[in-house]
Amino acid sequence: MPKANLSEVLFKPSFKHPETSTLVKRIAQTNASIQSSLEGETQSNWYRMINTTIWSWRGVDPIEAEEVLARIAVSPNERTDETLLDTVVGYRGGNWIYEWAKEGMVWQKKASDLACEDPITAGNYWLKASHFYSIASYPHLRGDRLAEQAELLADRAYKEAANYLPFELKSIDFKVDGGNLTGFLHIPSEGKGPHPTVLLCGGLDNLMSDYYPLFVNYLAPKGIAMLCVDLPSLGFSSHWTLTEDTSLLHRQVLNQLDQVPWVDHQRVVALGTRFGANVAVRLGYLESRRLRGVACLGPIVHDLFVNKETQRRTPIVYQDMIASRLKMDSTTDNLLHTELSRYSLKTQGLLGRRCSIPMCSVSFEKDVFSPLSESKLIVSSTGDGKLITVASTPLLDNLNSGLEQLSEWINEKLC
């Protein structure tokens, strides 16, 4: 069957799939209205957070994104909650996954049509398709079959993009707990291998393909490779359960990097975004001899896990996402709070104790998920720490500045 028909094979018309917002059932649900630098903003009539700024940073045209949101908003089809626009039941017009995936298919077709005529443009179109499929699958809750199918399309489109763009993408299998775990190694065209490498520990709400701008704009120009490994319970790591030992998979991957010929295993920095910073900092303490440093972006390492007020201010979709990752699909806010307290690296006796390798952390102004105290706790736990602060407006300019500073710090530690 032709590759272009994969979307037709995956998405067959059906109205029996459970709607995303119904997958997690918490008895006492509290919601908050926030605007976050990395997650976007909550809106009273949407279940998901709307993140047009970061979508734009990844390469999605804001006008096109607004058009997709408008199609969802005006849909007359049945919703599980008539007060929430993105809760249309079934894979049809107005359903979040349907509308974003539909836009991805538009770019996929354009990419296929240009493959021979203009390879670079075709590669960029495949990237756009991947971004749309990724947004379609957000927030990646367990048991969301339609979202899982969108993830497959995002993965396939990303691999197609790599066939045309000036970098190399290799899928590498690592032996983890008797099974195989796939990671994506991005190899820059700059420099000669084996390359100094960033081991990226992503967040709970992102796919590996979401980090392409980080690689192509900040790491690749410095000749740095990027290895992405999903967190337990997400993407290629979905068969593993997320526990308080958050770094379990990444430790085993790190210990096998000497077997990857494109990676200079003696020059590795762990970079964690959001919840992934929990993984990266744990690696800094437990695998310090294998790392040159730890970098964090909007880290979640302590406050969100122990502070009930912070949890109260966290939007429903983010609380649902965390509950889903912890396999607490039916729970109360109090039970979730008790479980989360085990994930604090300070409670675990790590943060606050001196770490032997350098650590750098980027803190965003007015960040509900990661207050300044998180980054200060990280950088004060090492003799060689650096704090980078990013103002909330204008976000894109400040984000780029923060990432430039962070990538420079990473480059210094890898030299």
What are phi and psi for residue 116, nearest 5 degrees?
Answer: -90, -35
- Token look-up 């499929």 returns 133
Least confident of 245-254, 296-305, 315-324: 315-324
Tokens of 337: 């709070």
32-165 and 167-414: identical CATH topology: no
Q: Mean pLDDT score of the chain, rounded to an integer? A: 92
Percentage of the chain exceeding pLDDT 70: 94
Write the CA distances from 6 to 15, 193, 340, 342, integer angstroms. 20, 35, 39, 42
Would you state the CATH architecture of domain 167-414? Answer: 3-Layer(aba) Sandwich (3.40)
How many percent of the chain have pLDDT more than 90?
77
**Bridge partner list, 23:** none
User: What local confidence, expressed as pLDDT, does residue 294 receive?
Assistant: 98
Q: What type of residue is 65?
A: A
Integer Cα distance of 263 and 258 in angstroms: 7
Report the pLDDT value the prediction gives residue 11, as an integer from 0 to 100: 54
Residue 1 pLDDT > 50, yes or no? no
pLDDT tens profile 220-261: 999 999 999 999 988 889 889 899 999 999 999 999 999 999
Q: Which CATH superfamily is domain 32-165 in?
A: acylaminoacyl peptidase (1.20.1440.110)
76 vs 193 pLDDT, higher one: 76
Q: Does the pLDDT at position 12 exceed 90?
A: no
Distance CA 195, CA 123 (A): 24
pLDDT band at 31 (very low <50, low <70, confident <90, very high): low
What was the pLDDT predicted at 2?
Answer: 45
- Is residue 195 very low, low, confident or very high in pLDDT (cuts 50, 70, 90)? very high
Phi and psi (nearest 5°) for 210? Answer: -65, -20
**Spans of all domains in the chain:** 32-165, 167-414
Query: Does residue 295 contact residue 378 with C-beta atoms inside 8 Å?
Result: no
Whole-prediction pTM: 0.93
Can you tell me the distance from the alpha carbon of 161 to that of 184, in angstroms, rounded to the nearest whole number? 13
